[in-house]
């Protein structure tokens, strides 16, 4: 069993990843329901599962490529991983013919996953963003737990995974691969700069890779009916920007300690529109628990859990 990310006997979190920190920055009450009480919407986590399968397949390709295997063989390995990962309980995961095609989530299916993996690897077969390999070890899916020092007597850490370390034009970056149904363009890429995840990844990458990582390359895959489209954007961060983010982090952590000590997590009703708990917050406080237990289930998020 993974270690708890909370100080024993309290709701004070000491190990933070980009997901839990993002929840807290969006809305303390959302953070409380997700992170402390462990509620998730009942049913499939389609987007999360699709992203995990996509990452696993591309990682398998990169590891095989790092061993010097030819592209075609690496591609076959990636496809096999995708096929095996999406064969669950004796049947294929989310076949398009079993889905409601009027639902936008229907594009996240087994066939479109495999197509996206193949097309991405064909497009970037001769990628100029080269995988970093040190002492024979490729910089892929690196788990991190980075000590960032004590605050108020609590030893804090940042944790999570870095997808891929690369050099691009002679400059070191970390790469993050995304899947989306959204059209790729300025509106889509604009959400990543500034962005909590991109700053955290850059800070951590500089620490664990011991080199001046310049930011994050966002490799995005738009999954649609009949096609997958790919795009790339670079989110660069200066040392001053990262220092500013770390200063801000101190204040966010202090605020989380304050709410935990007072056992009250206020709602940020300016971020309710896209929140998965929107319909809960529309209810009167006295009946919220009843609706939570009806439509949600306990699936706690532990950023220290290895995957």
**pLDDT score, position 103:** 84
User: What is the three-state SS of 178-245?
Assistant: EEECCCCCHHHHHHHCCCHHHHHHHHHHHHHHCCCCCEEEEEEEEEECCEEEEEEEEEECCHHHHHHH
Assign 42 a pLDDT band (cuts: 50, 70, 90): confident
Based on the fold, state whether residues 30 and 116 are members of the same structural domain.
no
Specify the pLDDT at position 1. 78
**Bridge partner list, 91:** 88
What integer pLDDT is reported at residue 221 of this predicted model? 98
Cβ pair 182, 53 in contact under 8 A? no
Residue 247 lies in a domain: no
Task: For residues 11 and 15, give the distance between their C-alpha atoms in angstroms, rounded to a whole number.
Answer: 12
Whether 174 maps to a domain, the answer reads yes
- Residues 6 or more apart whose CB falls under 8 angstroms from that of 173 comprise 129, 165, 166, 167, 213, 214, 215, 216, 217, 234
Identify whether residues 120 and 133 lie together within a single domain.
no
Residue 248 maps to a domain? no
Full residue range of the structural domain in which residue 100 is found: 50-126
- Same domain, yes or no: 192 and 158: yes
Q: Is 243 among the domain residues?
A: no
Whether 175 maps to a domain, the answer reads yes
Which of the two residues, 260 and 105, has the higher pLDDT score?
260
pLDDT at 43 over 80: no
Considering the domain architecture, whether residues 135 and 228 belong to the same structural domain is answered as: yes
95 with 110: CB under 8 angstroms?
A: yes
152-197 pLDDT, tens digit each: 999 999 999 999 999 999 999 999 999 999 999 999 999 999 999 9
Tokens of 11: 């709701």
**Do 187 and 220 share a domain, yes or no?**
yes
Q: Is the model's pLDDT at 44 over the cut of 90?
A: no
Give how many domains the chain has, as a whole number: 3
Same domain, residue pair 167 and 155: yes
Q: Last residue of some domain: 83, 99, 126?
A: 126
């Amino acid at each position: 069993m993974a270690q708890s990310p909370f100080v024993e006997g309290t709701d004070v979190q000491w190990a933070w990843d980009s997901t839990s920190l993002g929840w807290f920055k969006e809305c303390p009450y959302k953070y409380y329901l997700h992170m402390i009480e462990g509620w998730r919407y009942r049913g499939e986590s389609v987007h999360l599962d699709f992203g995990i399968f996509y990452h696993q397949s591309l990682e398998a390709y990169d590891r095989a490529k790092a061993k010097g295997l030819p592209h075609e063989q690496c591609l076959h390995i990636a496809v096999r991983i995708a096929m095996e990962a999406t064969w669950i309980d004796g049947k294929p995961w989310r076949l398009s013919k079993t889905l409601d095609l009027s639902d936008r989530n229907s594009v996240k299916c087994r066939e479109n996953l495999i197509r996206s993996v193949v097309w991405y690897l064909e497009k970037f077969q001769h990628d100029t963003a080269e995988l970093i390999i040190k002492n024979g070890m490729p910089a892929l899916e690196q788990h991190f737990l980075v000590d960032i020092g004590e605050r108020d007597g609590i030893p804090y850490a940042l944790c999570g995974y870095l997808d891929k370390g690369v050099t691009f034009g002679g400059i070191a970056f970390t790469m993050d691969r995304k899947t989306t149904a959204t059209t790729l363009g300025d509106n889509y890429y604009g959400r990543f700069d500034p962005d909590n995840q991109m700053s955290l990844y850059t800070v951590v990458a500089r620490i664990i890779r011991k080199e001046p990582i310049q930011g994050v390359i966002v490799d995005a895959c738009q999954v649609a009916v009949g096609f997958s489209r790919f795009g790339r954007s670079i989110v660069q961060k200066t040392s001053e920007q990262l220092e500013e983010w770390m200063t801000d982090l101190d204040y966010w952590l202090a605020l989380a300690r304050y709410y935990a000590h007072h056992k009250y997590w206020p709602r940020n009703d300016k971020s309710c529109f896209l929140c998965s708990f929107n319909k809960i917050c529309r209810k009167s406080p006295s009946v919220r628990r009843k609706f939570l237990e009806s439509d949600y289930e306990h699936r706690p998020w532990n950023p220290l859990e290895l995957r």
